[in-house]
Amino acid sequence: RCEDFSLEDWDEVLNVNLSAVFQGCQLAGRLMLAQGGGKIINLASMLSFFGGFTVPAYAASKGGVAQLTKALANEWAGRGINVNAIAPGYMDTDMNARLLADEKRRAEISARIPAGRWGTGADMKGLVVFLASKASDYVHGAIIPLDGGYLSR
């Protein structure tokens, strides 16, 4: 519950999910500026688009990643650096093990996903390859959902 969320937990989540992303982008950006360009692909979340429930720090951090991605794209697009983000939806990962183990909750979530299933790491490949390739040279500041259609409902 939000009213019980500790400031220590808040700080930890923001440090890992947002501050570390900023630092990584900053370091990569310096190198890419020196070499004349490059591609940065951040990981946002479907919670970049809506607030979630009982996860205030996670939602805030992933919303921050989306806005950071746009801000860096605005600053670096004209200097040859593409900055975009993938916003995964419900993915079959260790992070979601508790949700996946709850058959009732898993079924409720799966019913809302038009693709009818949770995503996997393999589902990320095509979008990562596209964003890292020359085919995305005119894509800047995009936050691309990879959610089986979840956000379309």
- What pLDDT does residue 89 have? 96
Give residue-wise pLDDT tens across range 67-119: 999 999 999 999 999 999 999 999 999 989 988 899 999 999 999 999 999 99
- What pLDDT does residue 46 have? 96
Active-site residue, from 58, 90, 138, 150? 58
Q: How confident is the model at residue 25 (pLDDT cuts 50, 70, 90)?
A: very high
pTM of the model: 0.93
- What pLDDT does residue 111 have? 94
Q: What is the C-alpha to C-alpha distance for residues 83 and 38, in angstroms, rounded to an integer?
A: 9
- What pLDDT does residue 53 have? 84
Q: What is the C-alpha to C-alpha distance for residues 84 and 141, in angstroms, rounded to an integer?
A: 5
Give residue-wise pLDDT tens across range 38-75: 999 999 999 999 988 889 999 999 999 999 999 999 99
Helical residues (DSSP H) of 6-152, grouped into ranges: 7-14, 20-35, 56-76, 97-101, 103-112, 121-132
- Is residue 5 within a helix (H) or strand (E), and if so which, with residue range? none
Paired tokens of 111: 């019913």
Paired tokens of 70: 């746009």
- What pLDDT does residue 1 have? 77
Q: What is the C-alpha to C-alpha distance for residues 78 and 82, in angstroms, rounded to an integer?
A: 9
Domain containing residue 122: CATH number: 3.40.50.720
Give residue-wise pLDDT tens across range 5-17: 999 999 999 999 9
Domains: count for the chain: 1
Domain limits at 111? 2-152
Q: What is the C-alpha to C-alpha distance for residues 29 and 35, in angstroms, rounded to an integer?
A: 10
Distances (CA, A) of 56 to 52, 53, 126: 7, 7, 30
Is 138 catalytic? The answer is no
